[in-house]
Structure 1
Amino acid sequence: MEVTQSYARPSHAGIDDSGALRMGLTAEASRPGVQLTAQIKDSRSYARVMLALYNVVSSDLRSKNKDHSGYQKWVEERYLEELDATLGAKLRALPGLKEKQGRLKERLKHLSREIRPLEQTIQSKDFYNKRYEYFQWLRKHDMDAWWVLDPVVSVHEDCVVFEVFSLDESSYGRVTVPWEKLEVLGDVRYGTTNVDYSSALADEMRRIRSYRPAFLSVAAEGVSIATGAGERVEKKIDLPPTWVRGFLQVQSAAVYPALEVPFSPETLSEVLAALQREREKTGPRSLRFQLTPGECPTITIEPWGTVIKERVHTYTGDSATEIRLWGRRRLLAFADLLPHADSVTARFLGTGMPSYWSITLDGHRFDIGVSGWTKNDWSSAARFDVLAATGQASDGDIAKASQELEKRLKLVPSDIADLSTETATAALQKLCATGMAMYDLADSCYRWRQLLPFPTPVSDEDQRSRLAGRIVQTGGVSFLKDTDEDEAFSTLTARTDDTTFRFRAWVRGGETRREAKFAVTLDLDNDGRVRFASCTCSFFKREKLRKGPCAHILAAVGLASQQLLGAKAAKKADTSSADAFDFTDKTFVFTGALTKFTREQAEGIVVQRGGKASGSVSKNTHYLVAGDKAGSKLAKAQELKIPVMTEDEFLALLGGSIA
């Protein structure tokens, strides 16, 4: 996907005649107008969190091959000293032959480069080629920007948010500047844009002092203004689709249940100082968090066994647990913040799972989300977007959610009129998937945030998702009734809490009926989010959710919205009427154009209440619900003298409402 990023001039900073430091963040010119000029309060803290953000965006902790050429040359010299003159002469000629070989290899590379465009005309480029070409282009044309993908800045009514990814895409960084920390000067235009954030600007950030006023300006300036300050900067890039997918996974994982643990800045300073002093040569390379209710957490640094105990905060969870975190050196990005931090809070999703860290300084907030381990970057991490919303949303629902969110800039699913909470949540998640919205963990709400000026195409599904789709299409998912007993589910823990609905299903391992079946359990909340998931397959037993849900959980999640609608309707009927219609063992068929509800919704409710849903009319059918333009099924039902209902009559059985 080729994207052109255009800037009137590079971002800049400097001290004016009054001694104030003015920072101009040049916005991407093709975006809708975003404008903000403000004096920053507690500017030194602002500079610190922005420098931590730069640490994230410029970091790459992927393992690199070490250069052993010097050692190998020394070994070769010692070897030559031990040989006779004849053989030694031949070996001394070897470097010249290797040099010739190197020249031939370079020639071969040159010819390969000429051939490659011809090959690319008959076969598509994969992502890795695109990413390689992009960074090679950027390194040649703008060395400073080569280290970063331009940060995203969003100006909202209550805060300004900066977001970035690290080079290895395993760390997500965010800075939130609340509105009360800005003294706004002039007009403000809300919206989202990219900003040019170079190493030179980071150097100027280091010059900020508490006694020196600091001003922030975000604006897309015209070319005429830029002529005196610098030339227009254009970057035409092949934007990796993983960039948008990474944002989606970060915010989707944020809504998954997690353990929230406060730490004192001094404790984490000790941990990070130990990591800076030592360099591990053997495994394991993890941080081990021991959490016991009513006691202060302890952190063990492996492989050295160094134990550091929290001195201030106690763990308030219900049960003792242990969390292990890998890729720990990514936390060094905020090491310089800790001596000045007011508070530090960690959110753990589980061992080997993503974690979130929040640090506040004088009201400014820095957040970093790290994937389960460094090589498991956010773009290839768990499919948390699937677990974040199980509901179904039509194109009309998505359009309505988009209009409402763009108008309000910030909302929760219940704010969208005429949509149920699970449908609204599903619609908002679709907007997140196309880069048009974000979920804000700090405020537990959705915000309007366009990563690009246009919706981004949703990336192709992975292999597990495709298998899950085939399992659903071939009828491989069978949900159990609440009254059904099965030993396969007897060892499970209780529901997440009283506000969730538990569903149990047998899911086939593949497309054919001879495949083994696995027991899947899901807990869904009122918004259709998965709060707990488990499966008896070997993949889940080995990986849990560290590498994403297995195909069987994905298949069950795909049908879970129908079950949730049925469970809600059944719960409402139980509390509203003792004389509710008994669906037990009754077979319903739905036909025609249904306008009051979807066929999937109605079938889910029938099954949840103990009935059966069929796609064809037979002598075993008890009721046919017919919408507009009902055809052959209606004729056959009349022939067999099967009772026929309208949509309103079916709704009357449910107490007047589908939800």
Structure 2
Amino acid sequence: MSATAVGYTYAYPFASAVLENRGEPAIRLATSLDGTSDDLFFDGQLRRPALVGKCLTVLSSIVRTRFYQPLDPLELDPVVTSGGGLLRFEGFSSCCGVYARVDLTPEAFDVELRGKGTTNVDFNEAMRVSLRRMNDDDSSQLQVGGEGVTLRRGDERIIERNVKLPIRWVRGFCEVQAYQPRMTPALELSPAQARDLFRALPPGSNSRRPVHITRTGQAIRLASRPVRGSVQLQGTDRVRVLEPLVPFVKQLLIWYDEESETSGWDLRFDVGRFFTLVSPELNRGFSGEGQTLTRLAVGDWQRSLPLVADSLNGQSRIDTAALGASSGCGEASVEAALAVLGARGLVGYDLTTGHYFHRVLPFDLERVESQQPRLKAARELVASGACRIIGETPSETRLMIPGTDVEHFVRLRLEGDRCTCRWFNRYLGQRGPCKHILAARLLVEGEDSPLIQSLAREEAGA
């Protein structure tokens, strides 16, 4: 049986806190001592302390919430990335159905960012309480990272929290990158329209019955049925959690992918933004989707992958056109390579700018990615000797692959593989290839298949 969680230790040089210094609050965020990033990311003055405090509070709330079947919160901390002039805080809900990111632009600070890298950041209970009290009347200092900070209480010991990170939670960080590139803007709301929308969202509603957000003239309203151009949302609490940020909004842009019914909520402020990605169903997280398996099966990324990986250096916006030209691989090949690197936790995707950014998730992804149940099942099917090819043409290979008490008809095609199994027909490829398609690829192409080779490298921790 595959493991469902991996042991992980958060090690911090001190506890994050908001300290009072001559009546002025100073936010000190402790970062994990993982040895992969600079010790000090930022140390300077906040220009909008109330907004920053609210953003970090909402992010922490999302990370510690199970929107589906609410249970006790998990001890999960967000990750912070510094580089390219931006400070990004990322988190994933405990139920794996909501991805959230805070982007703080240079306008939020009085000095430039100093460090570069990605690591965990300590969001303890006392810290969250203090963040909620931040206001713009105070002159507030922010420090992210640093081992040599002396706190007023003299507490300089290493603070460790041993936690069990759900594998699906960590994998969701990688999987969510595959959704964003195909999303498009659906609704653009003014501050007044954003306030009206959040007032209309039913409180305390995590019902599986979806609402449909649509525009009628200048008004934004909720409908019980889909109409052309509407955005479907199931589990409105997953969006209502953003309500404390609405007073600061300059513009709300809602992104949508009609095929997957995934929505993106882009709250734009004068000094940054808050972005969330919401899964199509309340009980459906991003971690089990298998979107990255499909990405690995298509696209010419093998030659460009090492070149693209070597070019990563803390960029907040990766220029795929320039990289494609300089590497000689072409922009399409670079885009495909970045999609694969996103699946491995080495880059994130910023839907709001349409660019990837460099960050290395501070988790043991070798242990996580070794859990590939579909690939393991596919190898067992091939090893059984019951898989067989029944026909071939230049554009298609047809096979019979054993299932549970029945054989499944699989077609490997240039325009997309298909299978007659119930799982594939339920999701129609939206959650990646089924084990029968993977077995067919193994039988036809062997371990040299680009899809199988990549998954095998991940199993080995490559």
If the TM-score is normalised by the length of the shorter chain, which range does it land in? Answer: 0.7 to 0.9
Give per-residue Cα distances to partners, 1:473-510, cap 9 Å, x unaligned: 967598877xxxxxxxxxxxxxxxxxxxxxx7565462
Q: Distance in 1 between matches of 2:271 and 2:172?
A: 27
1:400 lines up with 2:307 in the alignment = yes
What letter matches 1:175 in structure 2?
Answer: V
Q: 1:5 aligns with which of 10, 20, 37?
A: 10
Q: Distance in 1 between matches of 2:413 and 2:185?
A: 21
Contact 2:86–2:103 at 8 Å: present in 1 too? yes
Partner-residue secondary structure (3-state), 1:44: helix
Partner-residue secondary structure (3-state), 1:212: coil
Change (3 A) 1:4 1:430: same
Q: Distance in 2 between matches of 1:256 and 1:469?
A: 34
* Structure 1 segment 630-641 matched on structure 2, within 5 A: none
1:61 lines up with 2:95 in the alignment = no
Q: 2:366 aligns with which of 456, 466, 470?
A: 456
Q: 1:16 aligns with which of 13, 18, 21?
A: 21
Q: Distance in 1 between matches of 2:331 and 2:440?
A: 20
* Structure 1 segment 209-220 matched on structure 2, within 5 A: 209-220=135-146
Partner-residue secondary structure (3-state), 2:56: helix
Contact 2:197–2:220 at 8 Å: present in 1 too? no
Per chain length, whose mean CA-contact separation is higher, i.e. which structure has more relative contact order (CA < 8 Å, sep 6+)?
A: 2
Residue 261 of structure 1 is matched in structure 2 by: 187
Q: 1:234 aligns with which of 160, 166, 172?
A: 160
* Structure 1 segment 322-341 matched on structure 2, within 5 A: 323-341=231-249
Partner-residue secondary structure (3-state), 1:48: helix
Residue 93 of structure 1 is matched in structure 2 by: none
Give per-residue Cα distances to partners, 1:127-174, cap 9 Å, x unaligned: xxxxxxxx9xxxxxxxxxx64411100011221100011222221111
Partner-residue secondary structure (3-state), 1:378: coil
Change (3 A) 1:15 1:291: same
Aligned-pair CA distance for 1:259: 5.2
Could you state the TM-score of these two structures normalised by the residue count of structure 1? 0.56
What letter matches 1:168 in structure 2?
Answer: C
Residue 288 of structure 1 is matched in structure 2 by: 212
Change (3 A) 1:374 1:277: closer
What letter matches 2:346 in structure 1?
Answer: M
Aligned-pair CA distance for 1:264: 3.8
* Structure 1 segment 547-626 matched on structure 2, within 5 A: 547-548=431-432, 550=434
Change (3 A) 1:370 1:222: same
**What is the count of residue pairs matched by the alignment?**
432
Q: Distance in 2 between matches of 1:245 and 1:196?
A: 21
Q: 1:51 aligns with which of 35, 40, 57?
A: 57
268-277 or 40-49, which deviates more: 268-277
1:374 lines up with 2:265 in the alignment = no
Contact 1:324–1:352 at 8 Å: present in 2 too? no
1:190 lines up with 2:116 in the alignment = yes
* Structure 1 segment 71-150 matched on structure 2, within 5 A: 147-150=74-77
Change (3 A) 1:426 1:543: closer
Aligned-pair CA distance for 1:357: 0.7
Q: Distance in 1 between matches of 2:170 and 2:337?
A: 17
1:299 lines up with 2:228 in the alignment = no
Give per-residue Cα distances to partners, 1:430-455, cap 9 Å, x unaligned: 43333222222222222221212765
Residue 419 of structure 1 is matched in structure 2 by: 329
Give per-residue Cα distances to partners, 1:51-95, cap 9 Å, x unaligned: 221221222223269xxxxxxxxxxxxxxxxxxxxxxxxxxxxxx
1:510 lines up with 2:401 in the alignment = yes
Change (3 A) 1:164 1:391: same
1:342 lines up with 2:250 in the alignment = yes
Change (3 A) 1:386 1:278: closer
Aligned-pair CA distance for 1:359: 0.5
Residue 436 of structure 1 is matched in structure 2 by: 346
Change (3 A) 1:407 1:193: closer
Query: How much identity, in percent, do the aligned residues show?
Result: 23
Q: 1:41 aligns with which of 32, 37, 47?
A: 47
Contact 2:409–2:420 at 8 Å: present in 1 too? no
What letter matches 2:89 in structure 1?
Answer: F
Q: Distance in 2 between matches of 1:346 and 1:401?
A: 31
Q: Distance in 1 between matches of 2:193 and 2:345?
A: 37
Q: Distance in 1 between matches of 2:353 and 2:16?
A: 30
Could you state the TM-score of these two structures normalised by the residue count of structure 2? 0.77
Judging by fraction of residues, say which structure has more helix. 1
Change (3 A) 1:221 1:279: closer
> Which ranges of structure 2 fall in alignment gaps of 5 or more residues?
1-5, 451-462
Aligned-pair CA distance for 1:398: 4.0
Aligned-pair CA distance for 1:2: 3.4
Contact 1:45–1:362 at 8 Å: present in 2 too? no
What letter matches 1:212 in structure 2?
Answer: D
Q: 1:364 aligns with which of 263, 272, 276?
A: 272
Aligned-pair CA distance for 1:241: 2.6
Q: Distance in 2 between matches of 1:478 and 1:429?
A: 33
Give per-residue Cα distances to partners, 1:18-61, cap 9 Å, x unaligned: x3221010111233324211222233222222222122122222
Q: Distance in 1 between matches of 2:392 and 2:55?
A: 49
Aligned-pair CA distance for 1:372: 1.9
Aligned-pair CA distance for 1:518: 6.2
What letter matches 1:339 in structure 2?
Answer: P
Q: Distance in 1 between matches of 2:292 and 2:168?
A: 14
Residue 456 of structure 2 is matched in structure 1 by: none
Q: Distance in 1 between matches of 2:173 and 2:436?
A: 25
Q: Distance in 1 between matches of 2:13 and 2:313?
A: 26
> Which ranges of structure 1 fall in alignment gaps of 5 or more residues?
66-134, 136-145, 308-318, 482-503, 524-531, 563-598, 602-659
Aligned-pair CA distance for 1:330: 0.8
Q: 1:446 aligns with which of 342, 348, 356?
A: 356
Contact 2:348–2:356 at 8 Å: present in 1 too? yes
Partner-residue secondary structure (3-state), 1:406: coil
Change (3 A) 1:158 1:505: farther
Partner-residue secondary structure (3-state), 2:401: coil
What letter matches 1:188 in structure 2?
Answer: R
Q: Distance in 1 between matches of 2:299 and 2:277?
A: 26
Change (3 A) 1:178 1:285: same
Change (3 A) 1:230 1:541: same
What letter matches 1:14 in structure 2?
Answer: L
